[in-house]
Amino acid sequence: MTQSPRAEAIATVDADGWLSTATRLPSPNYEARPGAIEPTLIVVHNISLPPDDFGGDAIRDFFQNRLDHDAHPYFEQLRGMRVSAHFVIRRDGAIEQYVSCNDRAWHAGVSEFFGRERCNDFSIGIELEGSDRFAFEHAQYEALQTLVGVLAKRYPIDALAGHSDIAPGRKTDPGPHFDWPRFVRATGLSSRFFPYLNQA
Ligand SMILES: [Zn+2]
């Protein structure tokens, strides 16, 4: 008997905050959420290391504090930085998880969501492997749609935002090539989940 692809694709987040279908690559860069608050915000980012270079292991190495800083001139400025996100969606749509959704990952930095600061406290960070200069892959939108659907069932998510929305002037990702209308349609979520789009 063959297993149906659909059955294989079913994703859940377990009690410990890990996605069943993700490759687990634990990062040491996290801490407990203050007051054990549950995440209510999803933040979409892009990342590539070095910028515009896709497919290597540098993101993983960076989030696990084992980047070879001598391997590329750009990496020098990352020395000593401690960064993570809950998820990275690679160009082929594969999902990697670095931090439990129950914990606080270090993805947003100085940030504010409608007056509420320290967005890392109450958000889940999803990095799309990409940059501000290139379109994202169809497989990445599909994976993101699935991931958001699972997270919205598991946690009291009430909003989604780009990193540039919560850190304007400091961050530009997910950038001009991230197709928000396409993403909104794909999630099937109502427009109230996208407060920054409503403002525009
Ligand atoms: Zn970002």
CA 126 to ligand 1 centroid distance, Å: 9
Q: Mean of the pLDDT values across residues 18-26?
A: 97
> Which is it for the CA torsion 163, 50, 67, 128, positive or negative?
positive
80 Cα–ligand 1 center, Å: 18
Cα–Cα distance between 19 and 95 in angstroms, integer?
Answer: 9
- Tens digit of pLDDT for each residue in 101-140? 999 999 999 999 999 999 999 999 999 999 999 999 999 9
**Are residues 178 and 47 in contact, defined by beta-carbon separation less than 8 angstroms?**
no
Q: How far apart are CA 119 and CA 162, in angstroms?
A: 12
CA atoms of 132 and 164, how far apart (whole Å): 11
- The CA distance from 34 to 162, in Å, is 22
Domain boundaries, the chain: 21-199
How many Å lie between the centroid of ligand 1 and the Cα of residue 156?
Answer: 22
Tell me which residues are annotated as active site.
127
CB count in 10 Å sphere of residue 161:
23
What CATH number was assigned to the domain covering residues 21-199?
3.40.80.10
Does residue 200 surpass a pLDDT of 90?
A: no
